[in-house]
């Protein structure tokens, strides 16, 4: 993909662009946000680093790329973790900036950012990318900070501290010092005070003066002054204000990776100032968003709705059951079903915001894209402000039993006390959920996890090595999601269900089971020492055949269930299991925390 890199001047944004190139993408432009007043070093912002902005302008010449810059007109207006377009908010400045980049360079399809641990920043970058139909690339997300710092130093990123605000960091002593020089000191501060080695907790900010991306020149800082913001005796806050610098041009242009930074960029090394006021325009409704009103009323179709109640939740399955009438197509069937569920939720005083998990069954996986188009006309982020539900999608022979082309099961909570993880950025952490569902939903100590394939997260491609390799990769992906909720497969899994769209031999099943057992066993010693994680009995393993699975990956799918819900769910699968199949997939649904 062609990528615009969000640059603050810090080491993280530069290393994130290096990772983009490592994974085969091409950096074609840079984008930066800076204060309205050039004399101001730092803004009171949760989003942007502005210390050292006086030097960032040189990045265009150092990298031979166009740099788009915009003054920050907005301020912090929308303080919730989730973000909704808000007039006057500083996030809208990023929208305006990237919108102009996309207008001038239409080939751009992705945005790189250096987010490591801040959900606040990641969610806002993803929101802007979603509105501009760009892909968010966050290759540093959830990576170990000690290892990241070592990687940056070993990959020759020369960055100096330009702000300090933590115990053990002294403005007069540490500002202007290189991260390589301070590495051991930063590691000691982590041991002593629990500091973030990469400064993700605001302990410090950095400014990159040279790195492999700087193919034309490096920056030499000739002079600076230290400005104390808070001369506290325990944790002084100070910033470095550059007073003089120059570029030192490189005699030879070193290559970096297989891809050049940009073979044919728009006016290489040029600076573009993005002007204009922030004007929130109403998003034009796409065709899928207007579909919901086009479906016939619920009373005009014969629907079958069944409910199963639990203490805090109830499940609801819905299908069109009329064997005498042929299906009118997936869009019509699924739209009518979702409209019926929507009506039933409202009648009971609920909405899609109460839905924790959705099982989507369709008769033909070739229509997966059409199913998603219909799905998002009902289930949107606007209707689910805490996050869209987690989801699984399986093909079943519905037409053979007169149930049309779709069947939907929803798990509904009687309250809204849920926590949703919906990471849409492509990263090295776990596969992204760019689609209309989330990685996991936590409710009443039960974590409902979406299905995981054996995908390599940074490339989103199926890993090589066959069934066992795919199972192991999918387990690694699921473990990454579980860790975000401070639980683990090894301590919390109750039941694994392996969905297969190809018959497995006995030897394959034994090999996969050994792989699962070894994966869990290797993680148990650590978990038993972790007081935050409780240990459960060995999970069960069950194989289920299905005609087809999403994206037609030759992989395995594993599910984990809350025991009570498993009985209902398994009765459904026993009823519709086909006798033969072709490919397979790994899919984990539930984890007990």
Q: Whole-angstrom Cα distance, residue 432 to residue 457?
A: 7
Give the Cα-Cα-Cα angle 31, 33, 39 (nearest 5 degrees): 135
Question: What's the per-residue H, E or C state across 428-448?
Answer: CCCCCCCCCCECEEEECCEEE
Instruction: Tell me which long-range contacts 229-234 makes (C-beta under 8 A, separation of at least 24).
Output: 229/42, 230/165, 234/167
Give the Cα-Cα-Cα angle 319, 321, 323 (nearest 5 degrees): 145
Residue 359 CA neighbour count, 13 Å, CB half: 25
Beta bridge partners of 206: 161
Under CATH, to which class is 418-524+536-581 assigned?
A: alpha beta
Q: How many CB atoms lie within 10 A of CB 386?
A: 18
Residue with structure tokens 């005070």? 193
3-state DSSP call for residue 296? coil
Number of residues that this document lists for the chain: 593
Q: Whole-angstrom Cα distance, residue 95 to residue 368?
A: 31
Give the Cα-Cα-Cα angle 418, 430, 84 (nearest 5 degrees): 50
Lookup: tokens for 574: 């026993």
| 2-253+268-273 and 301-416 agree in CATH topology | no
User: Taking the alpha carbons of 421, 424, 428, 431 in that order, is the dihedral positive or negative?
Assistant: positive
Looking at per-residue pLDDT, the higher value among 233 and 391 belongs to 391
Say if CB 55 and CB 25 are below 8 A apart. no
Tens-place pLDDT, residues 205-226: 999 999 999 999 999 999 999 9
In the structure, what pLDDT confidence band is assigned to residue 470 with cuts at 50, 70 and 90?
A: confident
3-state DSSP call for residue 536? coil
Q: Whole-angstrom Cα distance, residue 119 to residue 321?
A: 43
Angstrom distances, CA of residue 586 to CA of 140, 469, 549, 554, 574: 25, 11, 10, 10, 19
Say if CB 87 and CB 40 are below 8 A apart. no
Question: Which range scores top for mean pLDDT: 68-77, 216-225, 514-523?
Answer: 216-225
What whole-number percentage of the chain has pLDDT above 90?
51
Q: How many CB atoms lie within 10 A of CB 192?
A: 10
Domain ranges of the chain: 2-253+268-273, 301-416, 418-524+536-581
In the structure, what pLDDT confidence band is assigned to residue 115 with cuts at 50, 70 and 90?
A: very high
Q: Whole-angstrom Cα distance, residue 455 to residue 463?
A: 6
Say if CB 495 and CB 561 are below 8 A apart. yes
Q: Is the pLDDT of residue 558 over 50?
A: no
Q: Please tell us whether the domain made up of 2-253+268-273 is placed in CATH 3.40.50.620.
A: yes
The arithmetic mean of pLDDT across residues 125-146, rounded, is: 96
Give me the pLDDT at residue 166, please.
93
What whole-number percentage of the chain has pLDDT above 70?
81
Give the Cα-Cα-Cα angle 277, 282, 288 (nearest 5 degrees): 145
Beta bridge partners of 309: 314
Give the Cα-Cα-Cα angle 304, 306, 311 (nearest 5 degrees): 160
Lookup: tokens for 465: 């090595």
Q: Whole-angstrom Cα distance, residue 359 to residue 231?
A: 57
Give the chain's count of helices (H) and strands (E): 14, 25
Say if CB 489 and CB 579 are below 8 A apart. no
Lookup: tokens for 370: 């059409």
CATH number of the 301-416 domain: 3.30.1330.40
Model pTM score: 0.85
Between β-strands 303-309 and 271-273, what pairing exists: parallel, antiparallel or unpaired? unpaired
Q: For the chain, what is the mean pLDDT?
A: 82
Looking at per-residue pLDDT, the higher value among 524 and 130 belongs to 130
CA 511 to chain centre: 31
| Phi, psi of 528, rounded to the nearest 5 degrees | -65, -25
Question: Which range scores top for mean pLDDT: 169-178, 283-292, 470-479, 537-546?
Answer: 169-178
The arithmetic mean of pLDDT across residues 448-462, rounded, is: 87
Residue with structure tokens 């973000």? 83
């Amino acid at each position: 993909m062609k990528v615009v890199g969000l640059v603050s001047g810090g080491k993280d944004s530069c290393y994130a662009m290096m990772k983009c190139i490592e994974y085969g993408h091409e950096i074609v432009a840079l984008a930066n946000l800076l204060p309205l007043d050039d004399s101001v070093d730092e803004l009171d912002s949760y989003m942007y680093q502005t210390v050292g902005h006086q030097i960032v302008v040189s990045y265009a010449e150092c990298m031979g790329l166009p740099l788009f810059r915009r003054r920050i007109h907005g301020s912090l207006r929308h303080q919730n973790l989730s973000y909704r377009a808000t007039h006057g908010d500083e996030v809208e400045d990023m929208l305006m900036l990237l919108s102009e980049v996309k207008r001038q360079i239409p080939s751009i399809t992705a945005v790189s950012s250096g987010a490591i641990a801040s959900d606040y920043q990641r969610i806002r970058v993803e929101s802007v990318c979603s509105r501009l139909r760009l892909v968010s690339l966050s290759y540093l997300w959830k990576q170990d900070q000690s290892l990241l710092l070592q990687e940056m130093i070993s990959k020759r990123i020369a960055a100096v501290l330009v702000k300090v605000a933590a115990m053990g960091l002294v403005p007069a002593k540490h500002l202007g010092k290189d991260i390589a020089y301070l590495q051991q000191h930063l590691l000691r501060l982590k041991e002593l005070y629990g500091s973030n080695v990469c400064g993700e907790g605001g302990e410090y900010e950095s400014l990159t003066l040279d790195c492999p991306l700087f193919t034309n020149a490096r920056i030499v800082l000739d002079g600076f002054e230290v400005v104390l913001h808070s001369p506290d005796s325990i944790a002084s806050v100070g910033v470095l204000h550059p007073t003089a610098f120059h570029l030192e041009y490189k005699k030879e242009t070193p290559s970096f990776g297989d891809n050049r930074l940009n073979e044919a960029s728009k006016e290489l090394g040029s600076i573009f100032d993005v002007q204009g006021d922030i004007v929130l325009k109403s998003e034009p409704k796409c065709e899928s968003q207007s579909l919901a009103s086009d479906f016939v009323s619920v009373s005009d179709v014969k629907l079958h709705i069944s409910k199963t109640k639990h203490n805090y939740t109830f499940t609801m399955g819905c299908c069109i059951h009329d064997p005498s009438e042929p299906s009118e197509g997936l869009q019509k069937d699924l739209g009518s079903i979702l409209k019926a569920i929507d009506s039933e939720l409202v009648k009971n005083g609920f909405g899609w915001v109460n839905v924790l998990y959705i099982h989507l069954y369709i008769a033909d996986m070739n229509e997966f894209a059409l199913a998603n188009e219909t799905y998002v006309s009902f289930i949107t982020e606007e209707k689910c402000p805490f996050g869209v539900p987690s989801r699984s999608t399986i093909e079943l022979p519905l037409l053979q039993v007169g149930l049309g082309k779709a069947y939907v099961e929803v798990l509904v909570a009687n309250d809204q006390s849920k926590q949703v993880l919906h990471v849409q950025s492509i990263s090295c952490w776990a596969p992204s959920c760019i689609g209309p569902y989330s990685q996991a939903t936590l409710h009443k100590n039960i974590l409902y996890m979406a299905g995981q394939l054996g995908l390599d997260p940074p490339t989103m491609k199926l890993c090589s090595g066959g069934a066992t390799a795919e199972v192991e990769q999918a387990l690694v992906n699921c473990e990454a999601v579980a860790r975000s909720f401070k639980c683990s497969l090894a301590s919390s899994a109750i039941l694994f269900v392996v969905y297969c769209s190809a018959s497995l031999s006995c030897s394959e099943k034994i090999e996969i089971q050994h792989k699962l057992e070894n994966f869990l066993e290797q993680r148990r010693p650590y978990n038993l020492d972790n007081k935050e994680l409780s240990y459960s009995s060995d999970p069960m393993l069950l194989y289920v055949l299905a005609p087809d699975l999403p994206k037609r990956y030759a992989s395995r799918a594993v599910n984990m269930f809350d025991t009570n819900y498993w009985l209902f769910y398994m009765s459904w699968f026993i009823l519709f299991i086909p006798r033969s199949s072709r490919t397979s997939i790994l899919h984990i649904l539930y984890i007990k925390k």
